[in-house]
Amino acid sequence: MKHKLVKRPIPEALHFANAGFEADAATTAVSARRQAMLPLGALMLAASVSAWAQTSTSSDQVMPTVEVKGQKETESKESVRTTTTSIGKGQQDIRDIPQSITVMTEKLMDDAKLSTLREALHYTAGITFAATENGTDQDIRLRGFPVATTGDLLIDGMRDPSQYDRDTFNYDRVEVMRGSASMLFGRGSTGGVINQVTKKPFLADQHEVTTSIGNEGYKRLTGDFNFKTGDDAAFRLNVMRTKADNKGAEIDKYGIAPTFGWGIGTRDEFNVGLFHLDSDNIPQAGIRYLNGNVPDIEAGNFYGTNSDYIRGKATYGTLGHIHRFDDGAELRSQLRVGKFDRSQWGTTAGFATGTTAANLNPATVLNRVGLAPRMDEYKGTYFQSDYNNKFNWFGLEHKIIAGIDASSEEADRFGAAGVPGTNFAKGSTTVGNPNNGATLAVSPTYRPTSDYSAKSFGAYIQDLVQVAPAWKLLGGVRFDKFEGDFAQLTYSPAGVATRTTTSLSDSPFSYRAGVLYQPTPASSFHLSYGTSFNTSADTYQYVTPLNANTPPEKSRNIELGAKLDWLEGKLSTRAAIFRTEKYNERTTDSDFAGTAYLLSGRRHSQGVEFDVVGRLTPKWEIYLSYSFIPTAKIDQAGSTQQAVVGSRVGLTPKHTGAAWLSYQATPQLRLAGGVHGASENRPLQGTNGAASTTARASGYVVGDLMAEYVFNETWSAQFNVNNVTNKTFGDQLYPGFVISGPARSALLTVTARF
């Protein structure tokens, strides 16, 4: 069946189909005479699960048909609402997952023009961002706990560990699951996980080209081309090119993501894809706190130099396979091999001695200092295979998911040698003279500082049991094995290197349990408990003997929540009360000095979250995400007092939230607007020495506006104004400096669909 392509505001026609939902809403019957091919992980799991899945059949028997169901297209490209997710291992109903989940669909990202992962995450509650001393911008906090890049960022449910400039051009959606989830994903995931769902080929010829231009020299071109190449085969190509002057914080990047799928909707479905992203940007400079606060300087002002840079390349290939058994079971396997290169050198601007908030003026001097230059070369190979099926055992229905995953990772890190070190001066300017064109005569020369190689293996099983018509019980367990070899290099004044090596080996278990009460198809209530662990190598920086001798940190999450649908399923709401606790955090103690870290630290956060997503009326659509965390504190610390007992954990504001509301004014015109913001926020630690006050960022609310006009089935135009009031706000916080959020921007987008 061929899909018709029409514009979003015309409800009586079909729109550009959602990636991955290749079977449309129809049911496709496929003859099971097709020989089952089980590459990748099938052979690993077949011995243990195929006996559950089906009984053997002789070669001359006719096997029953395999029924493949697609998902309604209106739940992705056409809506900010969805009822299913792939974050829980395979496609599942959100109501059957006893944890809080927020999904940002492609429509929401298109409407608000969220072109990077960080921009998209501003539109979900409970998330904040830390700046780092070397200028990286992927330190994400969820419920006050780090979303470590080693385990908490996923692509299609598989680990996405490296730091790079994540762009949304190849995203179908972004899914956020809150709370401990090591039972599903292994190490990390104390505060939750973030899953980037990529676009997949589908069985139709449909294409979309989008061109955007804006102020500060912003230009962006994206293309999404899908070609049906056979009865069950298709090729999809997504491309992107973006450039912007951005007041000196330049953007210059391109990306390409081709994917070919065959056997789509059949017993054995395959896809093979390649992703490449290349960026050569100038990062926004950090600025020192002034009297403990974010200085009142015009939003977007750039106080770095033309010699600053963040350069990166991310390249990976993916091979995926789905085998559908006759009894409805599925075996999903993925293999990904990637290489990531990144180098960066940023700037922090500090105020001249004697500057206060009262005497701050355009002539105030700012002294620029270079952040620590850093370069990383990273390689990773990842494999996972997940099996799911339903069984009737002892008169009860069981939904089983089980799987294995393995990884092999290598990395080399480099720091600056010679003059352009951590405190290399980059000259001065004034508050009233941003982006003064300063170019340095020198740049960092790199030398190795550390390297590692690590291997991991994990196996898990989870059972969701229907114990009564409205009641389900969930239980799961996972075992992980992690081994790593690490090395640090230190240099004498003469440049002679000394190499120190350590090894690490951990074998922890993780658990998940829950109770679900579902009295109606439109309501689901849950109580859940989950654990997580963090090895000493989670950031691949803890490579000292102290860390090697320290067991993993452990965390737990308890959540009571509800998911309710309204207005005949057009509107969905979610609410949860949670407590997330890390109960043996690494600290130091004089009795163990030089031997190991002491797992004596404790901290926790607890609060309330809720989401409202869907259609209020045929013309009004809403997306709302809000988090209230009244308590986030240090409960116990080691003798060195790495944190003050009883103090509030940094990067955990009491209030965070986002909202987006759209109105279909006429069949051609749609208007929308949104806000996102947070209450007062603080970095993890740190003070402003001059004023002896704790650094902080005041609360803020940023407003965005959008208008879209559809000319016909092919052409449409969209106008966005983001940060309408040009609000200056602290977006990424570090103890010594802050990186402000983006200034007001105006963007005109023209889209052709054919």
Whether the per-residue pLDDT at 485 is higher than 60: the answer is: yes
- What is the pLDDT, as a whole number, of residue 407? 95
Q: What torsion do the CA atoms of 209, 213, 219, 225 make, to the nearest 10 degrees?
A: -10
In tens, the pLDDT along 680-704 reads: 999 876 544 344 457 899 999 999 9
Top pLDDT among 332 and 6 is at 332
For the chain, the average pLDDT equals: 85
Segment 457-466 mean pLDDT: 97
183 sits in which H/E element: helix 182-185
- Phi and psi (nearest 5°) for 665? -70, -45
Q: How far apart are CA 388 and CA 332, in angstroms?
A: 9
* Rounded Cα–Cα distance for residues 298 and 50 (Å): 63
Domains of the chain: 27-753 (2.40.170.20)
What mean pLDDT is predicted for residues 348-373? 93
Confidence of residue 504 (pLDDT cuts 50, 70, 90): confident
pLDDT at 624 over 90: yes
Q: Is 352 exposed, middle or buried (0-12, 13-18, 19+ CB in 10 A)?
A: exposed
Reported pTM: 0.87
Task: Evaluate if residue 273 carries a pLDDT over 80.
Answer: yes
| pLDDT, mean of residues 569-583 | 95
Asked whether residue 360 carries a pLDDT value surpassing 90, the answer given is yes
With CA atoms as reference, report the closest residue to 294 among 682, 662, 10: 682
| Nearest residue to 123 via CA among 611, 473, 668, 737 | 611
> What pLDDT digit, counting tens, does each position of 376-415 carry?
999 999 999 999 999 999 999 999 999 999 999 999 999 9
From the list 118, 105, 189, 20, the residue with the least C-alpha distance to 533 is 189
Query: Which pair of structure tokens corresponds to residue 427?
Result: 């000259």
How confident is the model over 589-615, as pLDDT tens digits? 333 344 444 455 788 999 999 999 999
Question: Quick check: 543 pLDDT over 60?
Answer: no
pLDDT at 690: 40
Report the range of poorest mean pLDDT among 217-231, 410-424, 513-527.
410-424
Closest CA to 131 of 742, 734, 736, 740: 734
Distance of alpha carbon 271 from alpha carbon 330, whole angstroms = 16
> Tell me, what's the pLDDT at 48?
37
Q: Any idea which of 206-210, 371-375, 563-567 has the lowest mean pLDDT? A: 371-375
Percent residues over pLDDT 70 in the chain = 82
Q: What band does 270 get if pLDDT is binned at 50, 70 and 90?
A: very high
What is the pLDDT, as a whole number, of residue 17?
A: 34
Instruction: Check whether 15 has a pLDDT greater than 50.
Output: no
Helix (H/G/I), strand (E/B), else coil: 676: strand
pLDDT at 147: 81
Give 518's pLDDT tier (boundaries 50, 70, 90).
very high
In this predicted structure, what is the pLDDT of residue 218? 98
Question: What is the predicted pLDDT for the residue at 441?
Answer: 83
Say yes or no to pLDDT of 22 above 70: no
Give the pLDDT confidence score for residue 44 in this predicted structure.
39
What's the pLDDT at 676? 98
Question: Range with the lowest mean pLDDT among 121-135, 160-174, 247-261, 419-433?
Answer: 419-433
pLDDT of residue 478: 98
β strands within 231-346, DSSP E: 233-244, 251-262, 268-281, 286-288, 309-324, 330-345
Identify the band that residue 132 occupies on the pLDDT scale cut at 50, 70 and 90.
Answer: confident
Distance (Å, whole) CA 219 – CA 242: 6
Which residues are within 8 A (CB) of 424 and not within 5 positions of it... i.e. 6 or more apart?
369, 370
